Amino acid sequence: MIVNAIGWPPSAMVGVMPGYGACRTRPGFCGISATPTRLLSGAKKRSRWHKGCPFPLAWLEPSFGFAWFITCGEARAAQETGEGLIALSAERGLTEFSAYATMLRGWAMAEQGRNEEGIAQIQEGLAAVRATGTELVLPFDLCLLAEACRETGRLEDGLSALAEALSIADRTGVFEAEMYRLKGELLLRQDHSTVAEAQICFERAVEIARNQSAKSPELRATMSLARLLEKQGKRDEARTMLVEIYGWFTEGFDTADLREAKALLDELSR
């Protein structure tokens, strides 16, 4: 593992290297109440421990910025951060990091309606990452592709990306909750015959997120399940489960996901 290869102590990697400690160490994935400014400030303090190496500086933004922005649905902020990281990677010759930034910028573009352009960026970055033989972060990258494919109606392409992601997650256990949520969303867009399978995916996503104490993925999965339950006439059940997870958060209510959750709660309360 690269941590051992360059001799950094494990404590230095918390929140700096994507995938290290997975959901347990990422504020965005664990739902810890924090603003992007606070997260980036803390990351910069930790980076001073290793000033002689450009690696931590390069990963400050994707690990604390991108993970947080993507988890909370903040596409514009993710794109701005990605463009900054691409410039930084070019300056320091960090080709692999540029590939990650390209993918994440592609996700942000797709989220803002530039779907085909965004997918092309994600695929470009994926090809570069595959060339390195890196597997740990591939599930996350493939989730970005699946989400962009969902927005363009390329359902089979999205499901194919998730099938690969889930096969890797069987070995790594990373990002599983989001994979199952996205799979459920894609299945719902196919036809009525896949509704039962989609519901199983949402329930599985909620279960995984709870077991990992990953509050932001749990919120997303709960919203997906609540929408489906509402369509099935189970409005009270949908509202109860959403109230429980929404009530866990104490700040960050200006983020896209929490705004969406509040709007859904209001709708379910009418």
Q: 3-state class of 134 per DSSP? A: coil
Whether the predicted pLDDT of 110 surpasses 50: yes
Q: Which amino acid is at 170?
A: D
Of 100, 72, 76, nearest to 88 (Cα)?
100
Decide if 228 contacts 188 (C-beta within 8 A). Answer: yes
Q: What is the mean pLDDT of residues 180-191?
A: 94
pLDDT band at 69 (very low <50, low <70, confident <90, very high): low
pLDDT band at 104 (very low <50, low <70, confident <90, very high): confident
Question: Which has the minimum average pLDDT: 169-183, 192-206, 239-253?
Answer: 169-183
254 vs 260, more confident: 260
Q: Please give the C-alpha separations between residue 131 and each of 33, 96, 146, in angstroms, as whole numbers.
A: 36, 10, 20
Decide if 177 contacts 221 (C-beta within 8 A). Answer: yes
pLDDT band at 68 (very low <50, low <70, confident <90, very high): low
Burial 197-234 (b: 16+ CB within 10 A, else e): ebbebbbbbbebbbebebbbbbbbbbbbbbbbbbeeee
CB neighbourhood size of 46 (10 A): 17
Which distant-in-sequence residues (6+ apart) come within 8 Å of 98 by Cβ? 85, 86, 89, 90, 128
Q: Please state, rounded to an integer, the average pLDDT across all residues of the chain.
A: 76
pLDDT band at 100 (very low <50, low <70, confident <90, very high): confident
Q: What is the mean pLDDT of residues 181-186?
A: 96
Greatest mean pLDDT range, 7-16, 43-52, 174-183: 174-183
DSSP string, 210-236: HHTT-HHHHHHHHHHHHHHHHHTT-HH
pLDDT band at 137 (very low <50, low <70, confident <90, very high): confident
| Residue 192 confidence (pLDDT) | 82
pLDDT band at 234 (very low <50, low <70, confident <90, very high): very high
Q: Please give the C-alpha separations between residue 175 and each of 1, 14, 263, in angstroms, as whole numbers.
A: 19, 17, 26
Q: Please give the C-alpha separations between residue 116 and each of 12, 104, 166, in angstroms, as whole numbers.
A: 38, 14, 24
The two three-digit tokens of residue 198, written as one number = 């989609």
DSSP string, 58-106: HHHIIIIIIHHHHHTT-HHHHHHHHHHHHHHHHHHT-HHHHHHHHHHHH
- Domains of the chain in sequence order: 1-138 (no CATH), 149-270 (1.25.40.10)
Decide if 86 contacts 71 (C-beta within 8 A). Answer: no
